[in-house]
A and B are shown apart, each in its own frame.
Chain A
């Protein structure tokens, strides 16, 4: 109520529109920010439309060329390495397998761990939780050598299991699901008990459906995180057929030998393609996420 009187009063007394410097400053900051984010992307887009030689000669320009179909063909269907296996399509597939496997694995494991921690009287539940939590202090980069050794000894190099399994243990997911489960009303658990739902049934019939907004949110974060993995795939996969997009793009511009030119157009186009799935995932799941939040299911 007070808000409306406050905003309408100045309009009534001063019919002339005043320049609001605060608003202009706000917009200037926003426009500058979006340009800062967009211009590099636009430059990359431009380079995908002209032949590579022109990029080398002139650098980035304003003109849009006609080499896009050619570049697209090369990017998606031509292999860049020796074995002929790492086509764009193949790398895209590998990236999807990594991203989805990574996200699904993390969510499944995190949910099960959180379920055990919240709903069962375990003797060392709190200690276990903090132990899991402290692993946040040990990201992959810290333990990459021992992790590599384990994967290598298990003979999982150049496999999808080797790529995904060592990464699925997740303190973040466990923590978020734990907090969420603790907010589920106690009576719901009791009602389910009286309704004869055992632990497994309660988890599948009640907890998982209730968590779907949480799952969507975690999926966004984890998929993008998995999709963007670079260091780990670089170490685990040496077989070109196992390359992910993020890793394979670098390979393309690296071929600088003799008279051949770095294929900027092709690699930049792949980089753009690599951006798309995370963008679509975010857009798609966000609508879900908001719907779930506003429905106030709990």
Chain B
């Protein structure tokens, strides 16, 4: 159990590429933090620096009370779960789980006890004598988790652990990992590119883009108040509509094609209005008219994809409402998010 502190951590590769710009944040003891972002955003690099698999170019990293910049991964008391599980193929499940303990000089009896305990927790007891090649993807994932648990680490690190599983198993493992982390109360850092995983699992989300932290917040904060157009577009499926608009002298933003809304003071010139598809609803006398081209059937909702004066827009309609292509009138349910068109920051 430990809190993790990153103080202006930076990563520059020998070829001069800056993978992570100076980043600072604190993770309190027992929190589940998800690093999310598109590929190449530096999230894995950040995780690997915390694990000690990658050197830290600048800044200080502390786990608990000690600065661990120059501490060997084995001595940081962390456990990591890899995307491809990285199980030792020639060892049985029990040996895989106990290997770290064996290297620490734990006694055989103690190893056996801990492995049995972890196996019990993960429902792996009947598989302890198998080799990884004889296990299914989900079982391998569990063994990788077990290997992490037996060590009683201060910190769990997960590097896209669910990407290799099918959708159904992924949903199930998502819940299991979350439940396990709660039960053990161990601080966890979880890297993913899947915003659904981030939203569902995290106590707090850190959104990264191009080596920069875009926003840190709880899932609700991030969803309700995205700090930038990047976060707005990345978090949430279907993504938020971003409509170009210009602000007039009276503090109202006008979208070409007929939508005008009040914007906060300070917004001038060109702005982007962010409206989530579910924040629009069908109405006879609406705020805006769109031309619907395609309707996607998603079961619980239908997604209408259309255009307003050449700009793409999508709308989520509950399944009990009829919808059709062609001209449709819509009403805003909430106040749109307003972003600066040039910088993409929230206004």
A-to-B contact residues, CB < 8 Å: 185, 187-188, 190-197, 201, 205-206, 209-210, 212, 295-298
Contacts and interface: CB of A to CB of B under 8 A. Distances in A.
Contacts of B78: 194
Interface residues of B, number: 25
Given A196-B74, A205-B99, A190 B104 contact: no
Given A190-B73, A191-B87, A193-B53, 18 more contacts: A188-B86, A188-B88, A191-B80, A191-B82, A191-B147, A193-B52, A193-B72, A193-B73, A194-B73, A194-B100, A195-B147, A196-B104, A197-B99, A197-B103, A206-B90, A210-B89, A297-B89, A297-B90
Nearest to A195: B100
Contact of A295 (B51, B80, B133): B133
A191 B148 CA distance: 10
B268 interface: no
A196 B52 CA distance: 12
| Majority secondary structure of chain A interface residues (helix, strand, loop or mixed) | helix
B54 to A, nearest CB: 10
B19 interface: no
Contacts of A193: 52-53, 72-74
B84 interface: yes
Contacts of A194: 51-53, 73-74, 78-80, 100
A191 B86 CA distance: 6
A210 B90 contact: yes
B86 A190 contact: yes
A228 B191 CA distance: 56
A191 B52 CA distance: 11
A190 B53 contact: yes
Contacts of A295: 133
Contacts of B87: 191
Given A187-B84, A190-B82, A295-B133, A195 B90 contact: no
Contacts of B88: 188, 191-192, 206
Contacts of A191: 80, 82, 86-88, 147
30 contacts: A185-B86, A187-B82, A187-B83, A187-B84, A188-B88, A190-B53, A190-B86, A191-B80, A191-B82, A191-B86, A191-B87, A192-B99, A193-B52, A193-B53, A193-B73, A193-B74, A194-B74, A194-B80, A196-B100, A196-B103, A196-B104, A197-B74, A197-B103, A206-B88, A209-B90, A210-B89, A212-B90, A296-B133, A297-B89, A298-B89
A187 B217 CA distance: 30
Interface in B49-77: 51-53, 72-75
B225 to A, nearest CB: 37
A209 B82 CA distance: 21
Nearest to B90: A209
Contacts of A187: 82-84, 86
A210 B186 CA distance: 33
Contacts of A197: 74, 99, 103
Nearest to A187: B86
A190 to B, nearest CB: 5
A296 B84 CA distance: 15
